[in-house]
A and B are shown apart, each in its own frame.
Chain A
Amino acid sequence: MDEKELIQKALKDRESFSEIVSLYYKEIFKYIYRRTLDKELSKDLTQEIFLRALKYLPSYKGKSLFIFWLLRIATNVINDHYRKEINENTFLKTTSNTYLNEQDSPEDQIDYEFIHKCMSKLSLREQAVITLIFFEHKNIKDAAFIIGKTVNATRRLYYRALTDLKKK
């Protein structure tokens, strides 16, 4: 059974949808974890992503790879989550208190956690672009599709994110 048939079947058949989950859960979870560095949160958000995917499955027309469609949902779910946190004023507090004072890490000891802390100061779209390009190994075109922007806008976003990261 090819992917399209499986998706078509998954509209009404739970087993088929479980198969889709098996195929993509790991990749989606990893993407979420790279954006959040929080396993519990990643677990919750991944669950939300697949439930959202189930809900909107009829709107998937097969114009892109299914994983890109899922990553697009994932990006929206993460952004929604952080926007909600920003509104509740908790995210900003955490980031400003914890991460800002830790920029004295020596360059040769740069690890993902430090990069993640720096990235958390970027806009949600910039974070998504950087994660997709450097840690999910997507090109600009695919990243553009996933974040729902044009290629040129995504390229501008990418360079702005790099410039902002330089300042951090």
Chain B
Amino acid sequence: MKRKNKEDTEKIENMLRSVKPPELANEEIESYKEDFNRVLQEEFSKVTVQREKKHVLKVKLTYGFAIFLLVFSLFSLMYIRPYLIKVATAKIINEQLKIKVALKDVIVKDGVGIVIYNYQEVVVNVSSEKVEVSQPVEYEPSEKERGQAIEIVRSSKEAKYFVAKEGEAPQDISKNDVVSVEGLIFPNSGKKLVEVSLAYTPTSYYYDSQLPSIPGSQPPLMTVKFTVDIEKGEIQP
């Protein structure tokens, strides 16, 4: 079968080789060529102008694309890279410390991701996947920071509906005396937290006016510490 096919193919090849293509008179082709040369006289300048325009457009497009790439790279450095670092930081902390971190809580500084968690600063180097935990150091907050921190505490719902112990009724301690204001700064991120302590009296304290008063006896004075993130304008949970 194969042999027959081969033979048939050879037969048709030979047949095609034997066919003589039509010959045309040279004069005839020459006259066509002359006709074309007349067309060329008109068309040449048109085509070259079009080609030049196309070339200019191509150059402009190339420059445009290069500028776009440059802008895109800058944009990527400014926005996309920090976002990727945030995602990687959250993932590494979740894997290594088993803590879930929201992307909005991740600070990106000098190419590393930083998360403030439970009074600790977790620094994640995303390229080496190395995690470092450091403690904050105390500092003296400025008058402005003190004022801002106290204001945030006084207007917070945590102070307005303060519950000292589970099961107790909430009490408003927002107008209470400020006992102390202390600052904490985290070494890597430079993030500041201000601790504001307010005085309060436990609601379980019962003052009986009919009982003879004991000289020097005072209701117990307790304090509660609120940790304020001034940048966010809120109390840290």
Contacts and interface: CB of A to CB of B under 8 A. Distances in A.
A and B part of one assembly: yes
Contact of A112 (B9, B20, B32, B43): B20
Contacts of B15: 107, 110
* Pairs of residues from A and B, 3 with the lowest C-beta to C-beta distance, nearest first: A14-B44, A134-B16, A135-B21
Contact of B40 (A18, A29, A111): A18
Given A21-B40, A134-B17, A51 B47 contact: yes
A14 B47 CA distance: 11
Contact of A162 (B9, B26, B36, B48): B9
B13 A162 contact: yes
Given A17-B40, A47-B39, A58-B51, A112 B19 contact: yes
B12 interface: yes
Contacts, number: 88
A116 B76 CA distance: 61
A33 B21 CA distance: 10
Contacts of A50: 36, 40
Interface residues of B, number: 32
B109 interface: no
A55 B40 contact: no
Contact residues on A (Cβ < 8 Å of other chain), bracket: 35 or more
Interface of B: 8-9, 12-13, 15-22, 24, 26, 28-29, 32-33, 35-37, 39-41, 43-45, 47-48, 50-51, 55
A153 interface: no
A161 B43 CA distance: 38
B22 A29 contact: no
Interface string A47-58: 100110011011
B47 A22 contact: no
Contact of A14 (B32, B41, B50): B41
Nearest to A22: B33
Contacts of A121: none
Given A50-B40, A115-B16, A30 B24 contact: yes
